[in-house]
């Protein structure tokens, strides 16, 4: 089991690499403002291809810590794929005032529950995008890396009515932590609620649960920042949400990497998990060859497999696989069920003692916590 000191050193390296890459976007995204109540105080960037037809799909993309929307878009190649296949992109973007390292606050109850904080801000952005660009509300998908992957789990659990599918890259299960020290332990693959408790929390996250979104999980086998054990726990949580129990999976290999798939009673693939052999912490890319995907950089990693195009294919966005949700398109109405709230002014907590104090002191010394 890796110690806290090693975890802090690796997080410090992420921060330094991310700060060096922050100005390296390519200007393809534009700002979206005036999208309504914003209790999580997030920014929004969007990409809408020229001549996008009505009822086009929407993909929501959540960047990782120390990244911004432009850097993640350039690295992942999502906007170039959107040009070729005709879908819109929404990039919620963290502000440094909310999190010093630009991580989405996936572990904080005030930001990681339906109707509150950052989760509700993202839902508002989606509502605005669908209305303004006449998008198909039955084909909305969400994906993210690391803290963005963990926030993807939050959005899928808390707002299952919004999404047809999601993809979590190097992320963590929904509601597996409620404090920063707990989050660090989960990242190391240590502790956490039982499988029964995690399923219970996910099932209770939304007031009414209809169709459960499909899920794609990606994780490097040599990830030293977020232990790959989290990918197994994510799958278990979603197997229980889909009512699959101990349903047997099918295993194959794609571009040299192990892929495991679970099907529902109708034979539909509802969960898949990719184990990216030898890869560390980041988004898998295939930057070489006849159809290069993405741009390698900090935590945007060459792996001879393009997670961006594979995920889009699994959602039916590239015309190869038809996975469109059967429900007809309909306007998204979030406001009716959730009266506007304002972001609460945080109360300074009592300083922790013991292990909690050691963890926070180490994070502050590394510049990872205010």
Instruction: Report the 10 Å Cβ neighbour count for 319.
Output: 10
Q: Examine the residue annotation and report whether 146 is marked as an active-site residue of this protein.
A: yes
Q: Which of 76, 79, 121, 146 is catalytic?
A: 146
Which positions are annotated as active-site residues? 146
């Amino acid at each position: 089991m890796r110690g806290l000191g090693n975890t802090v050193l690796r997080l410090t390296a992420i921060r330094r690499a991310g700060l060096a890459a922050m100005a390296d976007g390519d200007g393809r995204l534009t700002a979206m403002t005036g999208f309504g109540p914003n209790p999580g105080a997030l920014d929004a960037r969007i990409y809408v291809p020229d001549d996008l037809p009505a009822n086009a799909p929407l993909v929501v993309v959540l960047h990782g810590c120390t990244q911004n929307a432009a850097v993640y878009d350039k690295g992942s190649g999502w906007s170039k794929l959107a040009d070729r296949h005709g879908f819109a992109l929404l990039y919620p973007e963290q502000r440094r005032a909310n999190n010093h390292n630009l991580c989405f606050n996936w572990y904080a109850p005030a930001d990681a529950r339906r109707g509150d904080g950052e989760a509700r801000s993202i839902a508002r952005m989606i509502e605005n995008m669908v209305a303004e660009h006449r998008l198909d509300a039955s084909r909305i998908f969400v994906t993210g890396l690391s803290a963005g992957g963990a926030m993807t789990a939050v959005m899928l659990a808390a707002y299952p009515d919004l999404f047809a599918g999601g993809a979590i890259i190097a992320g963590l299960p929904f509601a597996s932590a409620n404090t920063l020290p707990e989050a660090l332990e989960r990242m190391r693959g240590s502790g956490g609620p039982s499988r029964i408790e995690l399923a219970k929390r996910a099932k209770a996250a939304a007031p009414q649960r209809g169709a459960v979104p499909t899920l794609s999980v990606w994780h490097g086998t040599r990830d030293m920042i977020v232990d790959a054990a989290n990918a197994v726990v994510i799958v278990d949580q979603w197997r229980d949400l889909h009512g699959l129990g101990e349903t047997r999976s099918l295993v194959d290999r794609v571009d040299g990497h192990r892929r495991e798939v679970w099907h529902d009673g109708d034979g539909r693939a509802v969960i898949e998990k990719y184990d990216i052999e030898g890869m560390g912490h980041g988004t898998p890319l295939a930057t070489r060859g006849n159809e290069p995907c993405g741009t390698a950089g900090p935590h945007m990693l060459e792996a001879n497999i393009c997670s961006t195009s594979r995920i889009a294919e699994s959602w039916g966005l590239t015309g190869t696989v038809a996975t469109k949700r059967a429900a007809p398109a309909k306007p998204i109405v979030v406001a009716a069920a959730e009266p506007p709230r304002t972001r609460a002014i945080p109360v300074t907590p009592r300083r922790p003692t013991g292990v909690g104090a050691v963890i926070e002191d180490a994070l502050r010394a590394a510049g990872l916590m205010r």
